[in-house]
Amino acid sequence: MFRPIISALLVVIIVAGAVSAQEAERVVVLTHDSFAMTEEVLAAFEEHTGLRVEILRSGDAGQMVNQAILSKNNPLGDVLYGVDNTFLSRALEAEIFAPYESPELQYVNADFIPDDTYRVTPVDFGDVCLNYDIAYFEENDLSLPGSLSDLLLPKYGGLLVAENPATSSPGLAFLLATVAEYGVEGDFTYLDYWQELYDNDILVVDGWTDAYYGEFKVAGRDTGSRPMVVSYASSPPAEVLYSENPDVGAITGAIVDDNMCFRQIEYAGVLAGAANEGAARQFVDFMLSPAFQEELPLNMFVFPVRDDIMLPEVFAKHALIPENPAHVDPAEIEAKRDEWIQAWMEVMLR
């Protein structure tokens, strides 16, 4: 996701061995490389609980889940954060989590709670959507596409850059949106759709950084020639926040029409067999607390799952939340993800 990484957080290498008294006073959070939270918020949790928070970053979400599964008999941490709905079934089937129903869930939108086993707890969400260069569309008197099918029209030929779903999280999310919209059987499947995108001169690159900062055309940047990119609904407020001239306002927008976005929900869970399961539960509660939830938008550029959190002004003004994002069942994603990606590669990477 569109997230700055705060280097002040401590990255820890956990050495296997007996649990010492010092270890019993800490909570080890296994997470992905994009985890970011202010030192002040983490320090407040430490002061309140007497625990010491240690953050163990473990690559992207897929790598993190794989490490947690491989080490399930000797967990690397106490709590895992950052598994999303594209990898959730893999984690649940591997039984790496101990059930825990946080009392803070009463404040969470029930739509985000996956089931009544409480093996994982929703923490945040974000939507992968098309972003566009506002100036380009205005200067060329070009209307925005209002559906995925619109992208096949000749007037949008050569305008879109997307990411490879085999190497990119937003790329996979966009692929899943097309699976949800067109299916895998029938006269016109997601593969037929991608074939027509290919014929309409879509550009595919390996990752989000290459797409967004390399190929995406935005007013005031010298790089890029494509005025549409697969990114996040939270990218426009980030553009404003980090702009040298924030008073200018948003220079990019997100297209959030029905079924054009794919929602990524991130979860936390107490790792089964954790050295400090009680501390893990406290940290899960903390991640649902107003103090943590309020900091999510401007630190990890995702949205809080609590209904009572006021978004920062830049988000409230410039971020859009899709009313009807595309949906694919997590179990189906787990069962078919590799097959769908392989078939996509045969069409797109010839």
User: Hey, where are the domains in the chain?
Assistant: 22-125+264-318, 126-262+323-348
307 burial (CB, 10 Å; 0-12 / 13-18 / 19+) is exposed
Confidence of residue 269 (pLDDT cuts 50, 70, 90): very high
Is residue 59 predicted with pLDDT exceeding 70?
A: yes
* Topology of the domain covering 126-262+323-348: D-Maltodextrin-Binding Protein; domain 2 (3.40.190)
Give the CATH superfamily of 22-125+264-318: Periplasmic binding protein-like II (3.40.190.10)
The Cα 75–Cα 69 span in angstroms is 9
The percentage of the chain sitting over the pLDDT mark of 90, rounded to a whole number, equals: 78
Q: What is the pLDDT of residue 23?
A: 46
Q: What is the pLDDT of residue 10?
A: 35
The Cα 282–Cα 288 span in angstroms is 10
pLDDT, averaged across the chain: 90
Confidence of residue 350 (pLDDT cuts 50, 70, 90): confident
Q: What is the pTM of this model?
A: 0.85
The lowest-confidence range among 35-44, 174-183, 213-222 is 213-222
Is residue 161 predicted with pLDDT exceeding 80?
A: yes
Mean pLDDT (whole number) for 246-254: 84
What 3 state SS string does 319-341 have?
CCCCCCCECCCHHHHHHHHHHHH
Q: What is the pLDDT of residue 4?
A: 40
Q: What is the pLDDT of residue 94?
A: 95
Q: What is the pLDDT of residue 259?
A: 97
Beta bridge partners of 269: 80
Q: What is the pLDDT of residue 83?
A: 93
The lowest-confidence range among 36-45, 57-66, 72-81, 97-106 is 57-66
Confidence of residue 3 (pLDDT cuts 50, 70, 90): very low
Exposure b/e, 239-259, CB count within 10 A at least 16 = b: bbbeeeeeeeebbbbbbbbeb
Give 266's Cβ-side CA count (13 Å radius): 29
Other CB atoms within a 10 A radius of the CB of residue 278 amount to 14
Is there a shared CATH topology between the 22-125+264-318 domain and the 126-262+323-348 domain? Answer: yes
Instruction: Encode pLDDT of 117-148 as tens digits.
Output: 999 999 999 999 999 999 999 999 999 999 99
Mean pLDDT (whole number) for 244-260: 88
